[in-house]
Structure 1
Amino acid sequence: MISLSEIKCIVIDVDGTITSKDNTLDLNAIEMLRKLKRDIGLKVILASGNAYPVLMGLARYIGGIDYVIAENGGVMGLNGEIEVIGDKKIGEKAREIIKRELGDILIESWQCMYRLVDFSFKVKHGIEWEYAYKKTMEVLSRMIPEAKAVFSGVAIHVSDRRVNKGVALKRVMEKWNLKRENVMAIGDSDVDVEMLMEAGFSVAVANASENAKRVA
């Protein structure tokens, strides 16, 4: 059985986990992270589907962030250090295919100009995300099976299917010489599942997807 006293690092999702329903930062959650850093000395990692520059901006203004995992595990680092996981070419090809084949139901996110591996799309007004997600998976399966689509609760993301937050977290754990029992993960959506499974102690927030709750 894992003891909370063994935890040395907390990795936490952003959207839906440390944000409120109005998509602004939950200040209570931010204060919790600062307190864990200040009082216990835990290492803190932000893990998100957002682009690396967005995570770096959050890290700067939150303070005390030790590392960021961006693009759902496709990019990680801090400040000038950037490590790319997965094949950029697969992500780029999937991006172009979705723009061409599903441009009538999906619109590319403004963040895509800053992305390297994982590219995100918003569902156009009046289109159900479930329908758009299903169509995205069908197109990728038919035209580029080495790519995948995931829904983060905010956007539909396409990338190299080998990319996920769990793979990135494992690399950080190896870099910092951490064991599974040293890591706590907190998330809310299907894109957090691998991360929750990789950590020794995992928490799905109250509004989490069924898949996230199942593995936490």
Structure 2
Amino acid sequence: MTETPPLVVDIDGTLTDETRAVDPRVFPVLSEWPEPVVVATGKAMPYPIALCEFVGIDYTVIAENGGVVFVEATDTLQIEGDKAACLAVAEAYRDMGYEMGFGEVDLANRWRETEVVVDLSQPEEPLRRLAEEHGLEFLDTGFAYHVTDASIDKGTGLDAVCAELGLEPADFLAVGDSENDAELFDVAGESVAVANADETALARADRVTEASYADGFLEAVEPYR
């Protein structure tokens, strides 16, 4: 059997179905993986922490597309990014008459520390234009629009994790589905896009699965099980 590498994996669209429900078949894969597992997501930190908690693995997470990194093994939290600029974009977007699109409570943004997100039901172009005017990155992950600091991404997040764990990004198998996984794919030793991935992720991956969503993840890791 091929030697098992450390694993870094996205959540939405990769461990889930199209409705963002996590497929329970991925739980034993993650909990039994013999090398470090990093959960890398565009979601705020409570979401990947909760996933790690209920799967029963160390809290080793990259959240907010690299803006927030936590490594339980070294009790290290790193927060990077120009949140003030992101909030300015959100304010300008609201002033134009648009909304974040997540309701009054807005759980999607409630715990964010480095970026803002807008629901896909809202107009894209005004948000993209405002992000560019503020020197920020605009990402369409297929589940939300993200406005984030252009200097951080999941690849820089993996660099930070590796610095804590004494590993190299090239040691990792990376599995994902979206343009916010592209920089992660660039630095990982092997990158796999699930079949439902967007064009950016497909182009940057070393291989592409035949199956989509969680089925694709299971296919991606099969050579190492």
- Scaled to the shorter chain, the TM-score interval is 0.7 to 0.9
Maintained 8 Å contact 2:16/2:23: yes
Match of 2:187 in 1: 198
1:28 shift after superposition: 1.5
User: What is the DSSP-based 3-state SS (H/G/I as helix, E as strand, rest coil) of the residue aligned with 1:123?
Assistant: coil
Q: Which amino acid aligns with 1:172?
A: V
Q: How far apart are the structure 2 equivalents of 1:65 and 1:212?
A: 27
Does 2:96 match 1:98? Answer: no
Identity of aligned residues (%): 28
Q: How far apart are the structure 1 equivalents of 2:20 and 2:44?
A: 16
Q: How far apart are the structure 2 equivalents of 1:133 and 1:163?
A: 21
1:100 shift after superposition: 2.4
Structure 2: gaps of 5 or more residues: 206-225
Match of 1:35 in 2: 32
Which moves more between the two structures, 151-160 or 26-35? Answer: 26-35
Q: How far apart are the structure 2 equivalents of 1:22 and 1:60?
A: 22
In the superposition, relative to structure 1, how do residues 65 and 17 fare at CA in structure 2: closer, same or farther (>3 Å)? Answer: farther
RMSD: 2.1
Maintained 8 Å contact 1:12/1:45: yes
Does 2:110 match 1:110? Answer: no
Match of 2:9 in 1: 12
In the superposition, relative to structure 1, how do residues 61 and 192 fare at CA in structure 2: closer, same or farther (>3 Å)? Answer: same
The 4+ residue runs of structure 1 with deviation greater than 6 A are none
- The structure where strand makes up a greater share of residues is 1
Q: How far apart are the structure 1 equivalents of 2:160 and 2:19?
A: 33
Q: How far apart are the structure 1 equivalents of 2:140 and 2:86?
A: 15
Match of 1:147 in 2: 136
In the superposition, relative to structure 1, how do residues 178 and 113 fare at CA in structure 2: closer, same or farther (>3 Å)? Answer: same
Match of 2:126 in 1: 135
Structure 1: gaps of 5 or more residues: none
Which moves more between the two structures, 79-88 or 180-189? Answer: 79-88
Maintained 8 Å contact 2:31/2:57: yes
1:211 shift after superposition: 1.0
In the superposition, relative to structure 1, how do residues 99 and 65 fare at CA in structure 2: closer, same or farther (>3 Å)? Answer: farther
Q: How far apart are the structure 1 equivalents of 2:71 and 2:156?
A: 17
Which moves more between the two structures, 60-69 or 12-21? Answer: 60-69
Aligned length: 200
What TM-score comes out, normalization by structure 2 length? 0.81
Q: How far apart are the structure 1 equivalents of 2:11 and 2:130?
A: 29
